[in-house]
Homo-oligomer: A and B are copies of this chain.
Amino acid sequence: MVNQVQRGDGTLSSRSDSSAASASGGDSSKESSRCSTPVLDADRTDRLRYKMRRRMESGDHWFSLEFFPPRTASGAVNLISRFDRMGSGGPLFIDITWHPSGDPGSDKETSSMMIASTAVNYCGLESVLHLTCCNQSKDNISRHLSKAKHLGLKNIMALRGDPVGSDWEEEEEGFNYAVDLVKHIRSEFDDYFDICVAGYPTGHPEAHSYKEDLIYLKEKVAAGADFVITQLFFRAETFLKGVYAYLDQQCVCVQGYQSLRQLVKLSKLEVPEEITRVIEPIKDNDAAIRNYGIHQALEMCRVLLDSGRVPGLHFYTLNREVATMEVLRQLGMWQEDPRRPMPWAVSAHPKRKVEDVRPIFWGSRPKSYIYRTQDWDEFPNGRWGNSSSPAFGELNDYYLFYLKSKSSKDALLVFEVFTCYIAAQPNRKGHKVMCLPWNDEPLAPETNMLKDELEKVNTRGVLTINSQPNINGKPSTDPIVGWGPPGGYVFQKAYLEFFTSSENVNALLKVLKKYEPRVNYHIVNVHGRNLTNAPDMQPNAVTWGIFPGREIVQPTVVDPVSFMFWKDEAFALWIEQWAKLYEDESPSRMIIKYIHDNYFLVNLVDNDFPLDSCLWQVIEDMFELLQTGLDTGDLEATKLFHVFPI
């Protein structure tokens, strides 16, 4: 299915060249003055057609998932959560359909364009954007393609689309067939996009003959299409006896099905009689129909895979997940234990392919980090380097629609909320605290390793928002803390980040003197400058990995400069995502406002990663010092408030 035939313009060799370039670290031809990246994982950096080629060579079947754009904003939020969940099963790519009547190329949260962009940039999914050309001007199509390129989309499914009205006629110079769109993409955008086209196992419904249709398909491939996805079909034989025989060395992707009732509604194809015969008697029993659908799909997929002629299965999900996941699980194709390519959620934007280091602060808010750095030309690679003036996106244009929300109104006793969150316990009103403003997602599994300690300090006013345990050389395949390719070892320095009162901070600063140089700290309030013992304001690597035949990869750092940007965001979240849930002058809002104005944000790193983390002892010492009483006339305390004018 990957295009290996020579194109009319003889560009095959130039493609092999870019393949080679890609293998050695990205296919960008731009001369970069920065160090090149270690490229841990070719699958992360290669373009789709090379990924397919590698999987075909290794005989490793893949699956892919098709979604349509949602109708409402809340539908979009749900769909994006679904991308995260279904993405973890390991699809080779997903694709987003294109419906000309729904303003698919707009900036709306629900447009095909924006949904595909979100899948690529925020969910890290290799994505294919459908595009139809029927009744479209060349300018319009070029505009869509330029926008897609700008957003980081690399793959287009080139379709004719359904003509509007019944009296459609070919336009001279217009886009009459998908092949015209393929030619247009190649002539305007050269080799930038990977192009997919549709194949019809029984011929296109409008084609004069099956054979004629196959001629069109071959034309599309000759014009530069890279791979073919078939229209859906209900019988494996349809595919195996059909297209495959004619396309000779071309393999073809298979479009499966699972939720039969909806397919029947949507598809213009006839449903085979043996299927309607089964369905008719159980048509009012949803569960029975679903089970039958799963059973049918499973059978068909097995026949196709066993044929040895099908490299991958493409699932039309209808934006649902249960049935597709069930079929894939039973086929053994669903990745139950997903490997993390990096310790943080990667982006699939081509510009970010080389990204291999991020500040730890956005660990629980990766989408925010991606959003705020989307205009960067280069991503720090190899090392964080000189970040003295990183242009983080402004906070005021920062709230993506799907980053809003989720906060609950259950919070009055702030400490209790934090504690309940860590303990995964319901609060006194019986509501489970599922997330805090500083965390996009539920607690990471590794945070559970610290649960007891976190719970204990939160009840005492050390309001933790980020942490990681120390790790001294666990295999990179470790299910909880592992990341990167197998055969490596991963390491971490213990990290703890929290809000706490100025009284606590005074005690903490005294305690920290005992822990020099083992513990590095940054302490800041909403107005203040960074009080730190970081040497020369350099970044501290807190997560790193050693892999066969590679340089050291250090994907997470505590960076003094970006900490100040994070500080603004972290303090703003008290107000924007929490205080605003309550009315002005309400007690809840006043408490939160007080914390915002008076508390400090603290982060601590224990550099001695082979030993047990001393950070809990640091906190313990702080509490102890508070109990025995601080010398109130102490110069240190006075000095602190000079450093931080409140």
Which A residues are closer than 8 A to B by beta carbons? 23-25, 33-36, 38-39, 42, 380, 382-386, 472-473, 487, 489, 491, 517-518, 520, 533-541, 544, 546-552, 554, 557, 605, 607-610
Q: Are the C-beta atoms of A473 and B550 separated by less than 8 Å?
A: no
CB distance from A51 to the nearest CB of B (A): 16
Q: Are the C-beta atoms of B517 and A548 separated by less than 8 Å?
A: yes
Contact of A610 among B383, B473, B540 (CB under 8 A): B473
CB within 8 Å for A35 and B38 given contacts A536-B23, A539-B551: no
Q: Are the C-beta atoms of A541 and B552 separated by less than 8 Å?
A: yes
Q: Are the C-beta atoms of B385 and A537 separated by less than 8 Å?
A: no
Q: Which residues of the other chain, B, contact A34 by a CB distance below 8 angstroms? A: 33-35
Contact of A382 among B23, B382, B557 (CB under 8 A): B382
A540, closest chain B residue (CB): B549
Contact of A551 among B487, B489, B538, B547 (CB under 8 A): B538
Q: Which residues of the other chain, B, contact A487 by a CB distance below 8 angstroms? A: 517-518, 607-608
A35 to B355, CA, bound (A): 14
Contact of A35 among B382, B473, B533, B540 (CB under 8 A): B382
CB distance from A620 to the nearest CB of B (A): 21
Q: Which residues of the other chain, B, contact A25 by a CB distance below 8 angstroms? A: 386, 536
Q: Are the C-beta atoms of B551 and A383 separated by less than 8 Å?
A: yes
Q: Which residues of the other chain, B, contact A36 by a CB distance below 8 angstroms? A: 385-386
A486, closest chain B residue (CB): B517
A25, closest chain B residue (CB): B536
A534 to B539, CA, bound (A): 30
Q: Which residues of the other chain, B, contact A536 by a CB distance below 8 angstroms? A: 23-25, 39, 42
Q: Are the C-beta atoms of B548 and A384 separated by less than 8 Å?
A: no
CB distance from A18 to the nearest CB of B (A): 15
CB within 8 Å for A551 and B546 given contacts A35-B382, A383-B35, A489-B610: no
Q: Which residues of the other chain, B, contact A537 by a CB distance below 8 angstroms? A: 24
Q: Which residues of the other chain, B, contact A538 by a CB distance below 8 angstroms? A: 38-39, 549-551
25 pairs of residues in contact across A and B, judged by CB atoms under 8 Å? A24-B536, A34-B34, A35-B380, A35-B382, A35-B386, A38-B383, A39-B536, A382-B385, A384-B551, A472-B473, A473-B473, A487-B518, A487-B607, A487-B608, A491-B546, A520-B549, A538-B550, A540-B549, A541-B546, A541-B550, A544-B546, A544-B552, A546-B607, A548-B607, A549-B605
